[in-house]
Amino acid sequence: MTSTAPRPLALSAAGPLRGTVRVPGDKSISHRALMFAGLAVGESRITGLLEGEDVLATAAAMRAMGAQVERGEDGVWRVHGVGVGGLLQPRTALDMGNSGTSTRLLMGLIASHPITVTFTGDASLSSRPMGRVIDPLTEMGAEFTASPGGRLPLTMRGICPAVPIAYRLPVASAQVKSAVLLAGLNTPGITRVIEPVPTRDHSERMLRGFGAELTVEETAEGRVISITGEAELTPQQIEVPGDPSSAAFWIVAASIVPGSELTIANVGLNPTRAGLVQVLRMMGADITEAQPRIVGGEPVADLIVRHAPLSGIEVPPELAPSMIDEYPILFVAAALAQGRTVARGAEELRVKESDRIAVMAAALEAAGAHVEEVADGLIIDGSGGDPLPGGGTIASRLDHRIAMSMSVAGLACSRPLTIDDVSPVATSYPNFYETLDAVRR
């Protein structure tokens, strides 16, 4: 992946946000759709795929390992898979750009194939530890040579047959859970993941849809997900719903900018991803679900969001796994609320594209908010709905969610708020700023 020149941007308060927004396809589902289709025998068709850099990195990796992955002029992606166990040795290293999801899930896929693969990435991805995935996959028989701290560049050698394991997640992580389940696809016997705290379940839903034998049992230890190996996946037609993590920016923007009313179309509302909507409603947000429906096994609705005064709350820590990617934009909502918000239980933010707790604390302070950083989150004393002073410059740290979150904060600043580089937004939401221009009237 080629690096791009920094793209600074300044934003400040203007008029209300009005209109209808259609967000990109869900990133988590897009990654999985390409991977699982690449392991099915026959042609799968995918509509609504997120065509950001992260997902394109997954498409390129699956192509490098033998799957035929092509986008038609009609916007439909067609994938001819190699079958479970059929991944081929790539000729060169897999460049994952900024995508931690691609890297961790592909490590799981490769772990039970007899191939050797090197992963590289950009500066941000190369700073992120991969040990949480390396540990269980090593138990299954894969071998790793990583950079110090379990980071990229990293070379792994898969094994076939791998060893089925029962793995209890030490921290709530859908990526680690998915990596183990994907390794289990080509592992004889039954591979189990014990999940004390539920995390997003896109892998479970989609693996079943492709024909894998997968069960979920609620026990005293937590959810036990079991997958029977040496699976045969059948091709599917997949419609990817709108990404709730991308919708989150518009939900908060409409909530904090006076006079706003936005309709956000076709938003995925999987219960394991809808924590932000629940928390914002607790704060007083005006969010209506219209035309609820099921698309490809996932609950979907159009969201109508109107400006409303928000009140600070203590965010239930048990909701953290269902909104972990949305904490940065939640922090922005809290900065404009009345009173104090305590948002904790999110230590996972320390090892995302950036240390999102520290980076958001610094960013909000630069915008004039009152913030206290704690180990697992932030404590924020809101402005009561008054604009933030603004006038500062924000370091986005190559993190797309920081850049978009602070762009939304800029819409509620008296003086221009400058984000030093918004180019990373292309990894997940390529037309974010064009959409902002369209609804900012």
Is 235 inside any structural domain?
no
Using omega within 30 degrees of 0 as the cis cutoff, is the peptide bond preceding 198 cis?
A: no
Q: 109 and 245, same structural domain?
A: no
Instruction: Map tokens 């939900």 to a residue.
Output: 251
What is the reported pLDDT for 321?
Answer: 87
Q: 21 and 46, same structural domain?
A: no
pLDDT mean across residues, the chain: 95
Of the residues 177, 201, 229, the one at which a domain ends = 229
271-293 residue pLDDT tens = 989 999 999 999 999 999 999 99
Q: Is 170 helix (H, G, I), strand (E, B) or coil?
A: coil
Q: What is the DSSP letter of 311?
A: B
Is 236 inside any structural domain?
no
Q: What is the domain-level CATH number for residue 362?
A: 3.65.10.10
Is 110 inside any structural domain?
yes
Question: Helices marked H in 82-173 — which ranges?
Answer: 100-111, 123-126, 131-139
Is 4 inside any structural domain?
no
Q: 266 and 144, same structural domain?
A: no
- Please name which of 49, 165, 57, 158 lies closest in space to residue 112, comparing C-alpha atoms: 158
307-355 residue pLDDT tens = 999 999 999 999 998 999 999 999 999 999 999 999 999 998 998 888 9
Q: 206 and 95, same structural domain?
A: yes
C-alpha span between 194 and 144 (Å, rounded)? 24
Contact 61, 96 (CB under 8 A): yes
Do the annotations mark residue 441 as ligand-binding?
A: no
Is 234 inside any structural domain?
no
What is the reported pLDDT for 298?
Answer: 87
Which two structure tokens, joined as six digits, stand for 403? 């850049």
Residue tagged active-site, from 26, 54, 243, 325: 325
Q: 276 and 256, same structural domain?
A: yes
Is the pLDDT at 144 greater than 80? The verdict is yes
C-alpha span between 407 and 411 (Å, rounded)? 7
Contact 301, 291 (CB under 8 A): yes
Of the residues 181, 198, 229, the one at which a domain ends = 229
Q: 174 and 245, same structural domain?
A: no
Give the burial class of 115: count Cβ atoms within 10 A of its Cβ; 0-12 exposed, 13-18 middle, 19 or more buried. Answer: middle
Do the annotations mark residue 175 as ligand-binding?
A: yes
Q: 186 and 313, same structural domain?
A: no
Is the pLDDT at 296 greater than 80? The verdict is no
- Please name which of 21, 33, 22 lies closest in space to residue 297, comparing C-alpha atoms: 33
Range(s) of the domain holding residue 128: 27-229
Q: 367 and 293, same structural domain?
A: yes
Do the annotations mark residue 325 as ligand-binding?
A: yes
What is the reported pLDDT for 3?
Answer: 55
Q: 32 and 18, same structural domain?
A: no
Give the burial class of 2: count Cβ atoms within 10 A of its Cβ; 0-12 exposed, 13-18 middle, 19 or more buried. Answer: exposed
Mean pLDDT of 63-85: 98
Q: 273 and 167, same structural domain?
A: no
Q: Is 388 helix (H, G, I), strand (E, B) or coil?
A: strand
C-alpha span between 337 and 284 (Å, rounded)? 10
Bridge-based pairing state of the strands 298-306 and 286-295: antiparallel
Is 210 inside any structural domain?
yes
Mean pLDDT of 239-247: 94
Is 3 inside any structural domain?
no
Contact 331, 380 (CB under 8 A): yes
Q: 398 and 253, same structural domain?
A: yes
Do the annotations mark residue 7 as ligand-binding?
A: no
Instruction: Map tokens 């697992």 to a residue.
Output: 376
286 carries an active-site annotation: no
Q: 285 and 144, same structural domain?
A: no
Is the pLDDT at 112 greater than 50? The verdict is yes
Of 11-15, 48-52, 128-132, 296-300, which gets the smallest average pLDDT?
A: 296-300
Which two structure tokens, joined as six digits, stand for 49? 């795929």
What is the reported pLDDT for 117?
Answer: 98
Query: Which contacts qualify for 435-441: CB closer than 8 Å, 24 or more apart?
Result: 435/21, 436/407, 438/19, 439/17, 439/18, 439/19, 439/21, 439/250, 439/262, 440/14, 440/15, 440/17, 440/411, 441/15, 441/16, 441/17, 441/18, 441/19
Is 58 inside any structural domain?
yes
Which two structure tokens, joined as six digits, stand for 425? 């937004």
The structural domain count of the chain equals 2
pTM for this model (two decimals): 0.84
Amino acid at 313: I
Of the residues 201, 229, 257, the one at which a domain ends = 229
Of 129-133, 169-173, 281-285, 373-377, which gets the smallest average pLDDT?
A: 169-173
Mean pLDDT of 422-428: 92
Do the annotations mark residue 100 as ligand-binding?
A: yes
What is the reported pLDDT for 165?
Answer: 98
Question: In degrees to the nearest 10, what's the CA dihedral of 284, 290, 294, 295?
Answer: -100
